[in-house]
Amino acid sequence: MNRKHLSFFLLFVLLSIACVSIAAQPKVLTPEAILTIRTIMDVQLAPDGKNIMFQLNRPRTETERPGGTIAEIWTMSATGGEPRRFTFNERGDRTPQWSPDGKWIAFLSSRGESSVTQVYLVAFDGGEAVQLTKAEKSVGAFKWSRDGGRIAYTMEDAKTKDELAAEREGKDWTVVDRNYKHTHLYTIDVKWKVVTLVTKSDLTIHDFDWAPDGKQFVVAAAETPTVDDSYMRKRIMKVSSDGGSPAAVVKTVGKLDNVRWSPDGKWIAWLGAIAENDPYQGSVFVVPSGGGNGENLTQGYQGTANWLGWMPGKPSTIVFRAIERQATVLHTFDLPEKKRSPLMTQALIIGEPSFSKDGKSMALSANTPQHPNEIFVGASMNTPLNKLTTMNPQLAGITLGEQRVVKWKSTDGWEIEGVVVLPVGYQKGKAYPTVLQAHGGPEAADLNGWLGSYSRWGQMLAGMGYVTLYPNYRGSLGKGPAFSMADHKDLMGKEFEDMVAGIDYLIKEGITDPNRVGVGGGSYGGYTTGWAVTYASQRFKAGVMWMGISNWISMTGTSDIFYENSTVHWDMMMYDDNNYDMYWKRSPLAHIKNANTPTLIMHGAADPRVPIGQSYEMYTALKWKGVSTEFVVYPRAGHGLSEKAHQYDSMKRIPAWFDRYLK
């Protein structure tokens, strides 16, 4: 063989080897794949248990104008088969609800040239959707009466004629904490279209439920519509459905939600905090509907309730969903016995359950480490539910990283838990670059479910050769109120030690390369990043600070949750007893002289929760210090990213930043 032939032969061999190598590479989860995912929510089982209605949030196509996902309403048989789209409106339809007789579907939609969201009705057996409400402002929430004759809904006050005239003349200034626009409760008669204003006093209604006889409502109301009051100052009240001034039912403290009237009319249940400084409404309370003292049914329970309802077919049985460590479960309480029993313990991360009228069947959306939300159905008796859908077939063939629940000891001996996502093709004994991604809140928890989204990077990074650790540090949900309150007066103290101890555990296990550790997260996770790249910069080689806190003094006076943040997170008021010193010491900027970690900063321009000034302060300080940094501002974005283009940009920047400094 001459030299020319030999060269061609060697080139052929090398190309063949390269092709085999490329073919052998697994298909992994990419930003492009994440942005194709359709998300199931608001699963509603028909009263007879035979059909399912649900909301499907789909990504926008390339031909649609920029924006977030578009909500569609779909239906399918509860026994399986192909789902089909039920309503058609390219601007989106959402939150479907069956009428009590199963003949009608009510849903929220804005159609035609109007931007106002109204309640629409459509017959389940076919026909065109008909507008029911003619509200001046968009309808917020709605609910059928139990006899199906009326629908209750909430609407924020509209501007007066004088206000509109002043606005046209450029006299559109506002006076803070004056001229509140409250959200009121209304009813509309489905047949005659007669509208009744239910709550006539100056209260904002955040939640409501019909009395079984339709004569009253129980509501969760606050004296102002501010975000702080929506968290911290709601009260449980009753009001006549004919209209009137709400009257208090029971004395409560702190946060509350999911106020529900029992089908037999005897009880009112809700989710509430155990104290003013409890960071989450995670306990199940009940009171006789006539009033009295509320009782905490979950006293001592090592979990966090996060949804509550009443079991159909059992007039005095509460059903609630809860986070237990890295999982979700369903339990019931039978009244008046108050005995807690498991309803579902299957290894699924579940949405709100929906039951048939007799309570014998249920349907819900759920995800696992292997797939995003799908519909599951089955009997309501703690037996395995059946997966009914595959709404994201494009994910078939994608190789995911193994997920494990892990436990470790913190510096003071506390047992801390979390989820670790291993790289695709993980080899035991090989140490990998690792990213610590802390959740927000801090009253949240990362569960062992689907971790492949624009905000949870674990599976995307697994396809790029990274380990990702999700620590449920003290302050997290899922282990009872005492655990979620354990970081009070100590932000980024023991809770940060919990996180670093998790990294040390992975290093000891031979999973993590100690010289290639990064950190990233959003909101409180962004605060964690800011703290890590300043106070503990020697431990972290790269950081991604997304809508994070850099200066607690300026943050406290400018956020929309001053009182909530001061009460349930800090558990101390900055303005009291000269607490400025503590607030400053636990600010990342107080430790900027330690900073040496390259940091990518991202923030929404319209974020009211963590104002964008927090990121400008960090960016300015890092530049002054000479640390490699980049600052990206997303226009129109609030506390998170909803627009597809923004999400895509963030998912390309984040791994590129880690690749640059960890690989």
Q: According to the model, what pLDDT value does residue 9 have?
A: 54
Tell me: pLDDT of 305 over 80: yes
Predicted confidence band at 18 (pLDDT cuts at 50, 70, 90)? very low
Q: Summarize the confidence of residues 515-534 as an average pLDDT.
A: 98
pLDDT tens sequence across 120-177: 999 999 889 999 999 999 999 999 999 999 999 999 999 999 999 999 999 999 999 9
pLDDT tens sequence across 219-229: 999 999 999 99
Q: According to the model, what pLDDT value does residue 578 have?
A: 85
CA distance 293 to 284: 14
Q: Which of 525, 546, 527 is nearest to 632 (CA)?
A: 546
Tell me: pLDDT of 196 over 80: yes
For residue 569, what is the DSSP state?
A: I
Tell me: pLDDT of 8 over 70: no
pLDDT tens sequence across 541-550: 999 999 999 9
Predicted confidence band at 7 (pLDDT cuts at 50, 70, 90)? low
Q: According to the model, what pLDDT value does residue 21 have?
A: 46
Q: According to the model, what pLDDT value does residue 5 have?
A: 58
Question: What percent of the chain has a predicted confidence (pLDDT) above 70?
Answer: 96
pLDDT tens sequence across 484-520: 999 999 999 999 999 999 999 999 999 999 999 999 9
CA distance 420 to 432: 13
* Structure tokens that stand for 126 in this block: 């076919």
> pTM value?
0.94
Q: Summarize the confidence of residues 172-198 as an average pLDDT.
A: 96
- CB-based burial, 392-421: b 16+ in 10 Å, e otherwise: beebeebebbebeebebebeeebebbbbbb
Burial class of 313 by CB neighbour count within 10 A (0 to 12, 13 to 18, 19+): middle
Predicted confidence band at 577 (pLDDT cuts at 50, 70, 90)? confident
Spatial contact of 185 and 176, defined as CB atoms under 8 Å apart: no
Predicted confidence band at 16 (pLDDT cuts at 50, 70, 90)? low
Give, in words, the CATH class of 399-662: alpha beta
Predicted confidence band at 113 (pLDDT cuts at 50, 70, 90)? confident
Q: What is the mean pLDDT of the chain?
A: 95
Strand partners of residue 472 = 417
Sheet holding 256-261, edge to edge: 256-261, 267-272, 283-288, 295-296
Q: According to the model, what pLDDT value does residue 93 have?
A: 97
Tell me: pLDDT of 13 over 80: no
Beta strand residue intervals within 230-389, DSSP E: 235-240, 247-248, 256-261, 267-272, 283-288, 295-296, 304-310, 317-324, 327-334, 339-344, 349-350, 354-355, 361-368, 371-379, 386-387
- Give the least confident one: 34-43, 160-169, 384-393: 160-169
Q: According to the model, what pLDDT value does residue 15 have?
A: 52
Every domain range in the chain assigned CATH 3.40.50.1820: 399-662
Q: Cα dist. 125→104, 105, 508 in Å?
A: 8, 10, 61
Q: Which of 587, 591, 601 is nearest to 535 (CA)?
A: 591
Q: Which of 599, 597, 566 is nearest to 491 (CA)?
A: 566
pLDDT tens sequence across 44-85: 999 999 999 999 999 999 889 999 999 999 999 999 999 999
DSSP helix/strand/coil, 362: strand
Question: What percent of the chain has a predicted confidence (pLDDT) above 90?
Answer: 94
- Determine the Cα angle at 464 with ends 460 and 467, to 5°: 80
Tell me: pLDDT of 103 over 50: yes
Predicted confidence band at 608 (pLDDT cuts at 50, 70, 90)? very high
CA distance 254 to 573: 16
